[in-house]
């Protein structure tokens, strides 16, 4: 059943956009395609997203936010900061691997979109490194980590572990031995933060 | 002056191949193109490289070996292992940046070739991590580093610093702030190796 204009929320449009992207790839997913998939006029879509670029940026942001949303629970958790740091890095790797492995075509599509969407990606990286900085701060407070500038340390940890979350390495994530490599890099990084 | 067949060494052919690649990109640089550039018959080139694939693999290996050759002097140097480690990582970053920045078209060409040349790239990474392992071993012997398995630690250090040598980040190497990011990651990694 096509939704009526009353139920046409931004979220509903973004869901349909992802579905159009999943089926037709990044070249499609214009406002007109999405309106057709929803059975509404393109005017109703434009009321929520004024341009195709805004729609594509929003659907990319939603996709990226799903990962940061999953991880935020670990930041707020009650375990020791070092445990939280290890859990957070493992959860980030698992989330990215799942995205790349479960639906490789949608992942490839989002790679095209993230290449276009400079702002969404920059904000996503800031979200993630801010979460990391909170964990590092907690470790400094509890006396287990040392960091004169937790934001800078968070960026260094994020970059040092890039092989296990940056999409440019997606092909490596299914190679044998990748788990051991991940453990070795996490060990090095955690030791690097220790007092 | 075109070289006579007496002077047609493998090195001379590889030099000409790089020149052909520089001028015409990765689609060119067949044995025939290289023979034409040298003013020799393609038979003389085939005596050194039996296939186009072998020629391309050899020119890629030569390009990669230039970097490992540059770095090997640091491994053998007499300074403290931590100083050598920092110097080595800085020299690797500088070498890759120079290759990417000074001749972006040739760099892009070699990116296509390294994608084809699985073996040459694997060997290059082994060369580099073996150099790193020697430095880490020296640090363990002198009592400044800890590593139960220096080869594994070397791979972890190499991967943790990938942002500053892996060609997939070449675009980032000219961004403002990249020097500070490099310093922060190196600091984290060196601290991670400390006893």
Reported as a pLDDT band with limits 50, 70 and 90, residue A1 is very low
Residues of A in contact with B184 (CB under 8 A): 152-153, 155-156, 159
The answer to whether A155 contacts chain B (CB < 8 Å) is yes
Give the minimum alpha-carbon distance from B98 to chain A in angstroms, rounded to a whole number: 21
Average pLDDT over residues A156-184: 95
- A91 vs B: CB within 8 A: no
> Taking 50 as the threshold, does the pLDDT of residue A49 lie above it?
yes
What are B73-102's pLDDT values in tens digits? 999 988 999 999 999 999 999 999 999 999
Q: What is the pLDDT of residue B79?
A: 94
Q: Kindly report the number of other CB atoms within 10 A of residue A83's CB atom.
A: 13
Please indicate if any CB of chain B lies within 8 Å of the CB of A157: yes
Q: Is the pLDDT of residue B40 over 60?
A: yes
DSSP string, B55-73: HHHHHHHHHHHHHHHHHHH
Inter-axis angle of helices A81-102 and A104-116, to 10 degrees? 110
Q: Which residues of B touch A194 (CB under 8 A)?
A: 191
Instruction: Report the candidate in B92, B131, B115 with the shortest Cα–Cα distance to residue B168.
Output: B115
pLDDT tens digits along A63-112: 999 999 999 999 998 899 999 999 999 999 999 999 999 989 899 999 98
Percent pLDDT > 70 in chain B is 97
DSSP bridge partners of B145: B194
Average pLDDT over residues B158-183: 95
Alpha carbon dihedral B174, B176, B177, B178, in 10-degree steps, equals: 0
**Residue B157 has what pLDDT?**
98
pLDDT per residue as tens digits for the range B152-169: 999 999 999 999 999 999
Delineate the domains of chain A, giving CATH numbers in brackets.
5-50 (1.10.10), 57-193 (1.10.357.10)
Nearest CA in chain B to A193: B188
Whether B115 and chain A come into contact, CB under 8 Å, resolves to no
CA dist A26 to A12, A37, A108, A117, Å? 19, 15, 9, 13
| A132, pLDDT greater than 70 | yes
User: Residue A119's pLDDT is what?
Assistant: 86
The whole-angstrom separation of Cα B121 and Cα B115 is 8
- With beta carbons under 8 A apart, name residues in chain A contacting B163: 159-160, 162
Report pLDDT for A114: 87
A129 interface with B at CB cutoff 8 Å: no
Alpha helices for B39-117 (secondary structure H): 42-48, 52-76, 81-102, 104-116
Res. A5: pLDDT tops 60: no
Of B160, B184, B191, the CB nearest to A185: B160
Residue of B nearest to A195 (CA): B191
Q: Which of A156, A168, A181 sits opposite B185 (nearest CB)?
A: A156
Return d(Cα B55, Cα B45) in angstroms, integer: 9
A145 pairs with which residues across the strands? A194
Which of A48-57, B5-14, B45-54 has the lowest average pLDDT?
Answer: B5-14
**Residue B29: what pLDDT?**
81
Query: What pLDDT, on the 0 to 100 scale, is given for residue A6?
Result: 58
Chain A touched by B168 (CB under 8 Å): yes
pLDDT-derived band at B28 (thresholds 50, 70, 90) equals confident
pLDDT at B7: 81
| Residue B1 binned pLDDT confidence (cut-offs 50, 70, 90) | very low
**Is the predicted pLDDT of residue B24 greater than 50, yes or no?**
yes
B136 touching A (Cβ < 8 Å): no
Nearest CB partner across the interface for B160, out of A152, A180, A188: A188
Q: Is A136 helix (H, G, I), strand (E, B) or coil?
A: helix
Angle at B40 between CA B34 and CA B44, to 5 degrees: 85
């Amino acid at each position: 059943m096509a939704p009526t204009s009353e139920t046409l929320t931004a979220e509903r449009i973004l869901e349909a956009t992802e579905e159009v992207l999943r089926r037709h790839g990044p070249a499609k997913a214009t406002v007109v395609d999405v309106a057709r998939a929803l059975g509404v006029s393109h005017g109703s879509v434009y009321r929520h997203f004024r341009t195709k670029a805004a729609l594509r940026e929003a659907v990319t942001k939603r996709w990226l936010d799903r990962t940061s949303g999953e991880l935020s629970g670990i930041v707020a958790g009650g375990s020791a900061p070092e445990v939280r740091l290890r859990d957070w890095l493992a959860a980030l790797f698992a989330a990215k691997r799942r995205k790349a492995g479960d639906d490789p075509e949608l992942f490839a599509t989002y790679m095209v979109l993230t290449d276009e969407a400079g702002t969404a990606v920059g904000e996503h990286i800031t979200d993630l490194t801010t979460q990391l900085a909170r964990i590092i701060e907690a470790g400094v407070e509890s006396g287990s980590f040392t960091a004169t500038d937790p934001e800078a340390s968070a960026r260094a940890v994020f970059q040092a572990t890039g092989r296990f979350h940056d999409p440019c390495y997606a092909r490596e994530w299914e190679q044998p031995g990748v788990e051991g490599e991940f453990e070795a890099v996490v060990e090095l990084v955690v030791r690097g933060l220790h007092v």
